Amino acid sequence: MIIDGQADFRTLLMHHVTTHWPDAIITAYDPIEAGHLPDEFSGAGNDIILLGSEQDDRDGVDVLQQFVRKTSFPPVVYFGSEEDQEAAHSLRPAEHFIREHISHDSLVLGLSNVLLASQRVASTDTLFPGDLRTGIHPLIKGYRFIRRLGSTEYSGVYLAERESTHLRVVLKVLRQMPGDDEDGGAFDRFLQEYETIAEMDHPNIVRIYDLGVSDTHAHIAMEFLGGGDLRSKIERGIPERAAVQYLRQIAGALAAVHEKGVLHRDLKPGNIMLRKDGSIALIDFGLAKTAKLESEITDKGEIFGTPYYMSPEQGHGNGVDRRSDIYSLGIIFFEMLTGQKPFKADTAMGIIYKHAQAPLPLLPPRLSKYQALLNMMLAKSPGNRLKSAAEIDEWL
């Protein structure tokens, strides 16, 4: 169902939908001509609601709030202005677009994500037939989608199966298109770095099976790692012997990556995964330059992720090299051994300040034999740090 007071916009959305799903059944509703939908409106009979911001004398965000607060309401995709973007996003619609900046592929991908995440898709036989009910993504051919694993500002992440080999993979579909980033080259560098990783054969680096790029989207098919991430492992507690073993594996992977001229730039426990056999695999290379520090801070002011692991030079916007990754690994090693982050503060900038100014963290006496290595990894000045990740194994 499409709800918007602008006839041309309703027609545009109809065109996009029926071009991809020619058998879709669409109801168009004009709130200016027909009046506002009552509070009792339940959306029943619809798989998805496309809600535009043109709502006569009502604010589009107010109508969005009316819909999303209902527990059994269909997923709502909101098309608003740049001015109401923040207010609309806070209401957590199923998907959110700026109405003046809609491309066909991004819209189809967004609607498909919503429908794939909805339990209604599994039982839908008449609306949106074919590719969605059989698990085929509208833009990525050759993979059967099993379930959505999550999403970020830049990508949707799915568990999928390669149809030709029945191999389970993690499929990332990138939302940031070539030329969209302010830098102008970050997207290309991102893909180049993944191409470099795909050529590497290292037991502690995620295996890349497929890279696909078109004028409008890109995807990466990589190894499915079924053992969870290191962050969850730390929360449960890691024995000293296992922490040292993980450090050796991560350092070996970093050394191999650095030899290829690639920096990780965003090393943290959430980007270190475990296989079912307990071995480590690094993921998410080269994303830190496109990630914003603010995205690591929740609405409640809780800080997590990157600021805790930033080197002093990265936190202050200075140039970084392989020694920055070594610093991040030192923070992770301390956390694996103690279960605690060495530097904490109420704000992201407070943490960044401590990375640069606070004394080096001290391990408890029972772990003091690792203090010298930790000091060499966490030296404030890059010139005083270990020069390569390969040296970590020598120190151990």
H-helix segments, 133-278: 186-198, 230-236, 240-259
| Rounded distance between C-alpha atoms, residue 258 and residue 254, angstroms | 6
User: Residues 261, 239: contact at Cβ < 8 Å?
Assistant: no
Residue type, 340: Q
C-beta atoms surrounding 147 within 10 Å: 10
φ, ψ dihedrals at 13, nearest 5°: -65, -40
Report how far residue 194's alpha carbon sits from residue 255's, in angstroms, rounded to the nearest whole number: 16
SS3 103: coil
Round to whole Å and give the CA distance between 46 and 1.
6
Q: Which of 4, 47, 266, 325 is catalytic?
A: 266
**56 Cβ contact list (under 8 Å, min separation 6):** 5, 31, 32, 36
CB 157 within 8 A of CB 150: yes
DSSP state of 205: B
Maximum Cα–Cα distance across the chain: 76
226 within 8 A of 206, measured Cβ to Cβ? no
Cβ atoms of residues 379 and 241 within 8 Å: no
Whether 181 is a known active-site residue: answer no
Q: Which residues contact 347 (CB under 8 A, 6 or more apart)?
A: 301, 303
As annotated, the active-site residues are: 266
